[in-house]
Amino acid sequence: MRVEIWSDIACPWCYVGKARFEKALEAFPHRDGVEVVHRSFELDPGRAKTDIQPVLKMLTKKYGMSEAQAQAGEDNLGTQAAAEGLDYRTRDRDHGNTFDMHRLLHFAKDQGRQDELIQALYKANFAEERSVFGDDERLVELATGAGLDAEAARKVLADPTAYADDVRADEREAAELGANGVPFFVLDRKYGVSGAQPAEVFAQALTQAWGEHSPLKLIDSGADADAEACGPDGCAVPQA
Amino acid sequence: MRVEIWSDIACPWCYVGKARFEKALEAFPHRDGVEVVHRSFELDPGRAKTDIQPVLKMLTKKYGMSEAQAQAGEDNLGTQAAAEGLDYRTRDRDHGNTFDMHRLLHFAKDQGRQDELIQALYKANFAEERSVFGDDERLVELATGAGLDAEAARKVLADPTAYADDVRADEREAAELGANGVPFFVLDRKYGVSGAQPAEVFAQALTQAWGEHSPLKLIDSGADADAEACGPDGCAVPQA
């Protein structure tokens, strides 16, 4: 069974929601039969790569919050994160464009290191003091920590077209699936969970989707059992 | 609705099956709502890139056919192809490793040109006189004809790791879905059609899968309607 998680590195609820989902997955009896794939979603795709600002300033500027409101929101998020055992820095965190991180996550997927990288990016963005924005070498360092080759990661970051279409394809799919926000969890393309729901909701979704997960139903003409196909033992030869 | 087609360029039934599927799709009332994705499958993955030989020789050597049997099979395939309006060269066609073509098809997918390229590869392999094996520049030419950038295609071909994991991931998925041969059509990950079935079977499969295609069922806790999520309008702020 496949679980796809649309999320953004700049999304605190994605950071918290991933931990809640993983708590449910950890306890799920069929967890070894569950494949998790991370999909790209940008909260702020229009932001220029060079436009980096403190989260609190962004919240007051973009959403018209007072400084006190913005800080209270961050403090509350810190509390929710702590409840999941996650560090969360409620002050002086930066906000910026995450497109390059998503490109890097697609490269990591090819290398079988996607989960390691997204975990490293979340931790760096939400818990550590050094900003993850506007510093490619910082991202290379995180990629290396996630088991990726530094030179290859550097190459991906230096070429703005690398994996760009993969990111956009994910974002198109999110829209098609009706996701307006993240995190957005899709189980077997059948069930969806929107937002950082409690672990119990993820447990229920896993159980339900697993129970209904079924092998493909094959459709054929019924007439000829021997399909006209090619396989490792050659191609079926039609009787003329 | 999504239709995934696992196939190999070296598979005559894939060439014929694609035409039969397209005949059904063309007549399908909801064809604009159907997305087609090509997936990789190699009939002969163990063959060295440099090991190119005439199809007829391969058939006698690998499958122990007599020359007359091999030629009769090719002639029959030519008849089946002609019935779908396809040219098929029953003599002097080459057989070889198709891994690089699959890598190129993944690149083409990123560029929105996958169907154009697979069509060009089929035509070149099955209908034209010049071999598609052992000649990267021939593939670059076909890629250009399919609307891809020559230099970019050349770069993909020159780097054996480019899109290699995508090809292998497709092949793993084929095995997981129970495909032992190709073409193998998967509709919405729910219905499968194995082999170059008649167009009527594809029409039935499209109708059935379309009728059952349903939006995601959302699962939530029921308790709080406001999901803890981030969207273009900011992040939900928890009430502490």
Segment A102-154, tens digit of pLDDT = 999 999 998 889 999 999 999 999 999 999 999 999 999 999 999 999 999 99
| Chain B positions in Cβ-Cβ contact with residue A197 (cut-off 8 Å) | 220-221, 227-228
Domain borders along chain B are 2-211
State the average pLDDT over residues A10-18. 97
pLDDT range class, residue A240, cuts 50, 70, 90: very low
pLDDT range class, residue B50, cuts 50, 70, 90: very high
Q: Which residue in B151, B216, B233 has the most chain A C-beta atoms within 10 A of its own C-beta, making it the best mutation to test that interface?
A: B216
The nearest CA of chain B is from the CA of A39 a distance in Å of 15
Q: Is the pLDDT of residue B116 over 60?
A: yes
Specify the pLDDT at position B226: 62
Residue A2 phi/psi, 5-degree rounding, is -115, 130
Q: Which residues contact B223 (CB under 8 A, 6 or more apart)?
A: none
Q: Is the pLDDT of residue B240 over 50?
A: no
pLDDT range class, residue A238, cuts 50, 70, 90: low
Inter-chain residue contact B12 with A235, CB threshold 8 Å: yes
Specify the pLDDT at position B223: 64
Output b/e per residue, A144-158; b: 16+ Cβ within 10 A. eebebeeeebbebbe
State the average pLDDT over residues A55-73. 92
Segment A216-226, tens digit of pLDDT = 899 987 765 56
Q: Which residue of B has its CA nearest to A79?
A: B240
Q: Which of A94-98, B215-219, B235-239 has the lowest mean pLDDT?
A: B235-239
Instruction: Compute chain B's Rg from CA coordinates.
Output: 21
CB A99 within 8 A of CB A63: no
**What are A193's strand-pairing partners?**
A185
Hey, what CATH topology would domain B2-211 get?
Glutaredoxin (3.40.30)
DSSP secondary structure letters along A149-161 = -HHHHHHHHH-TT
Specify the pLDDT at position A227: 76
Q: Is the pLDDT of residue B34 over 50?
A: yes
Average confidence score pLDDT of chain B: 93
Residue B93 phi/psi, 5-degree rounding, is -80, 145
| Chain A positions in Cβ-Cβ contact with residue B63 (cut-off 8 Å) | 233-234
Residue of A183, A236, A237 lying closest to B229 (CB–CB): A183
**What are B230's strand-pairing partners?**
A182, B235
State the average pLDDT over residues B132-153. 97
Report CA A179 to chain centroid distance, whole Å: 13
pLDDT range class, residue A214, cuts 50, 70, 90: confident
Specify the pLDDT at position A222: 73
Q: Is the pLDDT of residue B45 over 90?
A: yes
CB A146 within 8 A of CB A120: yes
pLDDT range class, residue B63, cuts 50, 70, 90: confident
Total-model pTM: 0.77
- Three-class SS string for chain B? CEEEEEECCCCHHHHHHHHHHHHHHHHCCCHHHCEEEEEECCCCCCCCCCCCEEHHHHHHHHHCCCHHHHHHHHHHHHHHHHHCCCCCCCCCCEECCCHHHHHHHHHHHHCCCHHHHHHHHHHHHHHCCCCCCCCHHHHHHHHHHCCCCHHHHHHHHHCCCCCHHHHHHHHHHHHHCCCCCECEEEECCCEEEECCCCHHHHHHHHHHHHHHCCCCEECCCCCCCCCCCEECCEECCCCC
Specify the pLDDT at position B236: 83
Q: Which residues contact A110 (CB under 8 A, 6 or more apart)?
A: B165, B166
Segment A150-177, tens digit of pLDDT = 999 999 999 999 999 899 999 999 998 9
Q: Which residue has the tokens 């997981």?
A: B176
State the average pLDDT over residues B98-122. 96
CB B85 within 8 A of CB B19: yes
Q: Which residue has the tokens 């994705």?
A: B37
Closest CA to B237 of A44, A89, A57, A71: A71
Find the helix or strand (DSSP H, E) in which A235 lies.
strand A234-235
Q: Which residue of B has its CA nearest to A181?
A: B231
Inter-chain residue contact A165 with B198, CB threshold 8 Å: no
State the average pLDDT over residues A176-203. 94
Report CA B104 to chain centroid distance, whole Å: 12
Q: Is the pLDDT of residue A210 over 80?
A: yes
Residue of B205, B220, B227 lying closest to A219 (CB–CB): B205
**What ipTM goes with this model?**
0.84
State the average pLDDT over residues B18-26. 98
Segment A70-112, tens digit of pLDDT = 999 999 999 999 999 999 999 999 999 999 999 999 999 988 8
Torsion, Cα B109 B111 B115 B121, to 10 degrees, reads -90
Residues 57-116 of B with CB under 8 A from A: 59, 62-63, 69, 72-73, 75-77, 79-80, 110-112
3-state SS, residue A4: strand
Average confidence score pLDDT of chain A: 93
Closest CA to B75 of A232, A224, A238: A238
CB A6 within 8 A of CB A145: no
| Euclidean distance between CA atoms B224 and B8, whole angstroms | 50
